[in-house]
Amino acid sequence: MSTALVTGPTSGIGEGFARRLASDGYNLVLVARDEERLERLAGELRACGVDVEVIVADLGDRAQLAEVEVRLRDPERPVDVLINNAGFSINQSFVGGDVEAEQSLIDVMVTPVMRLCSAAAPGMAERGSGAIINVSSVASFLPFSTYSAAKAWVTFFSQGLATALADTGVRVLALCPGFVRTEFHERANIEIDRSNDTWWLDVDVVVQEAMDDLRRGKVISIPGRAYRALVAGSHLLPRDVLRRAERLRRSRITGRR
């Protein structure tokens, strides 16, 4: 039976992947820092008849991150699918904001993706099969914030990794969703209008599109027609127009211009 490792599986897209993979018969390795929620989810997924291993780790801590790297390199317990999903957002302006919060974002959303891919990819390539899904964001195509910059790194890194692993049997996908109905924005204290269904996607839809695009051999997956159109249009707009749009968005969130 194949094994998948999922980071950040206790809510949102990560939980969606964990539940989908369990239903598909994958044994799971779940990695998160919230032990209570992690164990609760593991118990639910074991009821699907799969083995679930739990690793309690804060991926922003290099020592704890190293424990996950060791697990991915273990040749006796190979991991066939890696889902790099862990991440968060912060609701602040970079200028005058808490730089340590910005650093924490980088430490969780960039460094672990690089190191966990480095740990998993050689074994997958040697076995001639495997899949890596790095959860990025549609924000990676837009010049907005540290969050956008971090996700841009994930998107471009994934494309480079896919090239490096070409012809090895290992597939790599950067998943770039827009707004998804999860607790993500509430946890970041970001108030946002959820009334327009055009822009809001369900977790199951995002996961399904990612799995479909992975099977098709795509390297970038952008769930939802509206978002695919947005990304296509963003390449045609001048950068200053996009920056003005971001200033307007920020003013609505913070009440400042």
- The catalytic residues are 147
* Integer Cα distance of 244 and 181 in angstroms: 26
Q: Which residues of 2-22 are buried (b: 16+ CB within 10 A; e: fewer)?
A: ebbbbbbbbbbbbbbbbbbbb
User: Does residue 244 sit in helix, strand or coil?
Assistant: helix
Here the tokens at position 101 are 């919060």
Residue whose structure tokens are 């999860």? 182
What are the CA-CA distances from residue 72 to residues 40, 160, 225 (Å)? 23, 20, 35
Residue whose structure tokens are 């599986």? 9
Pairing state of beta strands 200-201 and 170-175?
Answer: unpaired
N-to-C CA span, the chain: 55
Main-chain phi, psi angles of 128, to 5 degrees: 80, 20
Here the tokens at position 17 are 């992947």
Q: At what angle do helices 99-109 and 111-127 cross, to 10 degrees?
A: 0
Instruction: Give the rounded distance of the alpha carbon of 140 from its chain centre.
Output: 12
* Integer Cα distance of 250 and 142 in angstroms: 14
